[in-house]
Structure 1
Amino acid sequence: MRIPLFKRFVIACLNILFPPLAVLLICGPNEDLLFNCLMFLLAVIPSHVHGFYISLTYFNRKRKVRNGMYPGKPKHLIWSDKVNNGGASRRETERLKQQTENGKLGRMVSRRTASTTIKNGREPTRVEDWDDGYREDAISPSTSRMRSGRVGRSNTRERYYENQDHYR
């Protein structure tokens, strides 16, 4: 079940008006509330920063737990188990951690890594693989320019033959 947008909006407004109240609603009465109250009494702006830090961490970790991912190690300056575990119990967090360590959950692949592999699962062709002609499964000039983000010549076949000229 998704966290209602209204709840996030209320927490954000409370963070702006009175950060200790927002921290109390998220964490409950614990060390985080004491730390935020102390910061609010000494200097108001750090209290706002700490309140937003707690709320953003909580909502991010709650989303991870909802998607079946391990929320991660405890964050600095957050002592609440509810925030560090994303609202999940310790048992649930340990189960997610074990699944992640055992490799049952698939790793997230970055866009760059996913875009550089060819549809047949191999890395882009190497220059040594080419014969006299252009291989069909090699990267085309337009897609290699898009994938690498470089501007300029990207036709790998031309670069291969240019590099061979100075060896002859």
Structure 2
Amino acid sequence: MSDTIPALLIILITILCPPVGVYLVAGCGADLFVNICLTLLGYLPGHIHAFYIEYVYFDRRDRARHGQLTGRHAPGVYSERVQHGGAVGYGTI
């Protein structure tokens, strides 16, 4: 239940303004820049990109919790935070 509320809040924010939803998930980087450009080109492409970024983030987060995360990167996603589901590792010691 505690994970569902933030996810729903991010989805509602994304419906209103797609770049804000991408910023909340991916931070300030290439994904945000791409989403701003797509939103300026048309509201629908911005939404599609934002929901794709959020889908990858939440899917990878759930897979990481179950130990099923693969090493392959999702196409079109530039944020390491999204690629790893929020758990950015800094290598091994």
Provide the TM-score with structure 2 as the length reference: 0.89
- 1:58 paired with 2:34, answer no
Structure 2 gaps, min length 5: none
Identity %: 33
Q: 5 Å matches for 1:29-44? A: 29-44=28-43
Conserved 8 A contact 1:23-1:36? yes
Partner Cα distance (1:70, 1:3) in 2: 22
Q: With CA pairs under 8 Å and 6+ residues apart, which has the higher RCO, 1 or 2? A: 2
Partner Cα distance (1:38, 1:4) in 2: 30
Q: 5 Å matches for 1:47-126? A: 47-91=46-90
Larger Rg: 1
* 2:12 match: 13
Write out the 4+ residue segments of structure 1 that deviate beyond 3 Å after TM superposition: none
Shift in Å, 1:43: 1.1
DSSP 3-state at the match of 2:55: helix
RMSD: 1.8
Provide the TM-score with structure 1 as the length reference: 0.51
